[in-house]
Amino acid sequence: MVYAGIDIGSTAAKGVLLNEAKTEILARKLMPSGWNSRQTAEELHTWLLSLGHSREDLRIIATGYGRVSVPYADKTLTEITCHGKGAAFLGGGDLTVIDIGGQDTKVIVLTGGRVTDFVMNDKCSAGTGKFLEVMANRMGLGLDEFFAMAETGREVKISSMCTVFAESEIVSLMGLGTPREDIACGAVGSVVSKVSALVNRKSPSGKYYLTGGFCEAGFLVRKLGEVLGAEVITSPDGRFAGAIGAALLG
């Protein structure tokens, strides 16, 4: 028996296959969630079945916003539990997980590998991946370019938390001739401050692990660490934390 985790988020869909002992990642798959979760789930199913294991030999756990669209899953779990478990696998069992997702941001407190507390952002998109995606788009940049530019900028304060208002705020800044670098830096700063406010609503352990799509955005990770006053650890597998956790719980 091998264990698969399927994590269909609002922006990206992730698949992971773990070995029988659940100690090693055998395969990873990352794709855009697209507009149809069911179709995305189907593509991940095809991928899973192409890995050389029969369906009987696979135990599949689905998580994420689109978990209800994975008819072939043996079980579904919420992304909170899965991200917690996945982060414990990647970074150890006693830490505070920060997951910046496409449409929500979560802070999960892990104690001895178990989720003991969590908080999610309220219903607006401030402090989520969506916020940065909208800002990058507005400036005609891909996310990689956006982060590269932000790193060289001097932070301008973006005061609106609301994505829609912040977008018009940066339009005004662009109108004033503010360099894109500074605006990008300001947008990252806005997300970081919103995320750290969420972290401070819980009793963090002082050790942080970042999961989600920004796990390789070094500038954001560093800024987050500066504001929290502690090191934020992550790894390229951070984006698969939900899927890894799901597979571990299979």
Partner 1 sequence: MLSLPKNFETFNDARKKSFMALYEAKQRGKKVVGVFCSYTPLELVYAAGAISVGLCGKSEQGIPEAEAHLPKTLCPLIKASYGMALTDQCPFFYFSDGILAETTCDGKKKMYELMSKFKPVHVMNLPQGRDQALALDAWTEEVKLAAKFLEGLFSVEITPEKLHDAIVYRNKVRRAIVDIYETAKLKPSPVSGYEISTIAESADFHFTDDDLVAKLQRTAKDLRERVRTGADGRPRVLITGCPNAGVRDKIIKTLEELGADYVCADNCAGPRTQKFMVDENSEPYRAIAERYLKINCSVMTPNTTRFDDIRELVKEYRADGVIEIVLHGCHTFAVEAFTVMNMVQNELGLPYMRLDTDFSQSDKGQIETRLGAFIEMMSAAA
> Where do the H-state alpha helices sit in the chain?
37-49, 79-91, 129-138, 143-152, 163-175, 180-199, 218-228, 241-248
What residue type is 89 in one-letter code? Answer: F
User: What residues contact 49, with CB distance under 8 A and at least 6 apart?
Assistant: 55
The answer to whether 59 and 223 are in contact (CB under 8 A) is no
Name which of residues 36 to 95 contact partner 1 (CB under 8 A).
65, 77-81
Does 2 sit near partner 1 (CB under 8 A)?
no
Tokens of 88: 């414990």
Dist CA 100 CA 115 (whole Å): 17
For the beta carbon of residue 4, count every other beta carbon within 10 angstroms: 29
Which is closer to partner 1, CB of 69 or CB of 219? 69
Number of residues this chain uses to bind partner 1 (CB under 8 A): 15
Which stretch in 113-121, 129-137, 171-179, 216-224 sits in contact with partner 1 by CB under 8 A? 113-121
Does 131 sit near partner 1 (CB under 8 A)?
no
Name which of residues 180 to 239 contact partner 1 (CB under 8 A).
none
Does 161 sit near partner 1 (CB under 8 A)?
no
Does 122 sit near partner 1 (CB under 8 A)?
yes
Dist CA 242 CA 80 (whole Å): 8
Tokens of 47: 């991928």
Which is closer to partner 1, CB of 31 or CB of 120? 120
- From the list 36, 116, 168, 200, which residue makes contact with partner 1 (rule: CB under 8 A)? 116
Does 104 sit near partner 1 (CB under 8 A)?
yes
Which stretch in 12-20, 114-122, 163-171, 233-241 sits in contact with partner 1 by CB under 8 A? 114-122
Which is closer to partner 1, CB of 117 or CB of 182? 117
What does the binding site for partner 1 look like in residue numbers (CB under 8 A)?
65, 77-81, 104, 114-118, 120, 122-123
